[in-house]
Structure 1
Amino acid sequence: MLNIIRHEAVVEIQMARPPVNALNLDLLQALQKALADAVHEEARGVLLSGAQGMFSAGVDVPALLTRDRAGVREYWREFFATCAALAHLPIPVVAAITGHSPAGGAVLSLFCDYRVMAQGPYRIGLNEVQVGLIAPDCIQMALRRVVGAYRAERLLVSGALIDAEQALAFGFVDELTAVDQVATRALHWLGETIALPSHAMLETRKIARADLTRTYADIDALPIDAFVDAFFHPQTQATLQALVERLKNKAK
């Protein structure tokens, strides 16, 4: 489910749940543990990567639709807890966006310090609206702080998936490179960052990311129940069921 690769002072956490690194409950919990382990093992930086051509397809919708309300609530709490783990990580973390990164995959990247994305026919975005989901404010703010309020509004309300070049132009990602060089470039950025005077860098980073850490200071204070209510809205359920049917037909 995860490949853990040590690059001297940096730990690479590579998502490895074929075929599309869909975020199910087990993968979310594994990510949280891997992040905690990296800190415990005194890594100086973390690189979060995926498979070539696919960073993460986001939420495992087919699996989620089989769960009852308690199970859905458990899932979304773990999703927000994973965002919180990234938000509170005391060391720099870079997203090596190795391909497509819709919805939940894009969300995880927003909680990283820096984003390197593959050039080519790859798309990224918070397309929740297009699949019938509401993007809560605790997720919207992560996008606002990266691309600005107006651009975030336009992307969120339309549920747009944008290509790599647009993502760079909008500031959604920080640089583009060949798909087989994404992790290498991400490691290069981390290497330059951790080479800085550590006390000054880490304390400045802590101040700069205070909005994230405040928002995710208490997972149970987030609007999880309201989000679960919205998940079970008839229109949302119908849209998600239609999505699953399209995925089944595409796989045939």
Structure 2
Amino acid sequence: SGVAMMKFKSPPVNSLSLEFLTEFSISLEKLENNRACRGVIITSAVPKIFSSGLDITEMCGKSMEHYTEFWRAVQEMWLRLYGSNMVTVAAVNGSSPAGGCLMALSCDYRIMAENPKFSIGLNEAQLGIVAPFWFKDTFVNVVGHRIAERSLQLGSLHPAPEAHKLGLVDELVPEEKLMEKAAAVMAQWLALPDHARQLTKTMMRKAVLDRLVAHREEDIKNFISFVSKESIQKSLRMYMEMLKKRK
């Protein structure tokens, strides 16, 4: 069919560890280089969660070298996914905060399971973290400036119905029909000539991609100086403790 399916399976919550990000980028590159593959549907094999976002343990008590390697892998994931020539459809079958939301935002189309318990959003502000400019740019391009500004400042996680109302996700469907709908949407997008669609996508996304490429090293330095602050390390440790207690 020319369509690949990528299922996240990194229990318990598909957090974006260095290993996960590296594997994701390699898999995406392989699909990109496969002429027969025209589209990819991204979803989760873990119940109730699409992806919980960046793995906090990768940002806590590690070396500068590790932070550099980790952040470069986060950048690489986004550059590959947001800049992909393939049609990318996110079948969001669970909650998707922070980096998980970024992955969904980076796709061409987002379909979410119609479950009010599932939420999605860039909630970094809740952890005392500032979402980088390219997270912000991706968000603005989907929902517009005002909604993005309010949502980012408040670190909002939007329940599925609200996310749909804001345009953060394109459609809501019953959970059992999610994959069927994703396949139907993919077929609709693939009915067009690839060349015209790809050039249009590049035209729409190039400025945002180029901005990170031009400031990549500066962005890594900003991340390192931010994440190594004792106040940030402290809030990350507190957050990890809170997660342990929840288990």
* Pairwise CA RMSD: 1.5
How far apart in 2 are the matches of 1:205 and 1:248? 42
Q: Please list the CA deviations of residues 169-205 of structure 1 after superposition, one character each: whole Å capped at 9, or x if unmatched.
A: 1111101112233232222111110111332222222
How far apart in 2 are the matches of 1:232 and 1:199? 44
- The answer on 1:18 being equivalent to 2:14 is no
CA contact (8 A) 1:35 1:85 kept: yes
Q: Which amino acid aligns with 1:47?
A: I
SS of 2:176 mapped into structure 1: helix
Q: Which amino acid aligns with 1:12?
A: M
CA contact (8 A) 2:42 2:91 kept: yes
2:179 aligned residue = 183
Unaligned runs of 5+ in 1: 1-7
1:71 aligned residue = 66
How far apart in 2 are the matches of 1:117 and 1:74? 32
| Aligned mate of 1:227, from 211, 223, 246 | 223
1:112 positional shift? 0.8
Q: Please list the CA deviations of residues 68-100 of structure 1 after superposition, one character each: whole Å capped at 9, or x if unmatched.
A: 122112111110110001122111111111100
2:39 aligned residue = 45
| Aligned mate of 1:34, from 27, 48, 63 | 27
Q: Which amino acid aligns with 1:9?
A: G
How far apart in 1 are the matches of 2:188 and 2:156? 33
2:56 aligned residue = 61
The count of residues paired between Structure 1 and Structure 2 equals 244
Percent identity between the two aligned chains:
31
1:4 aligned residue = none
1:62 positional shift? 2.5
1:3 aligned residue = none
How far apart in 1 are the matches of 2:201 and 2:172? 23
Q: Which amino acid aligns with 2:178?
A: V
CA contact (8 A) 1:117 1:164 kept: yes
| Aligned mate of 1:142, from 120, 138, 142 | 138
1:85 aligned residue = 80
How far apart in 2 are the matches of 1:21 and 1:247? 15
How far apart in 1 are the matches of 2:120 and 2:208? 21
1:130 positional shift? 0.6
1:45 positional shift? 0.5
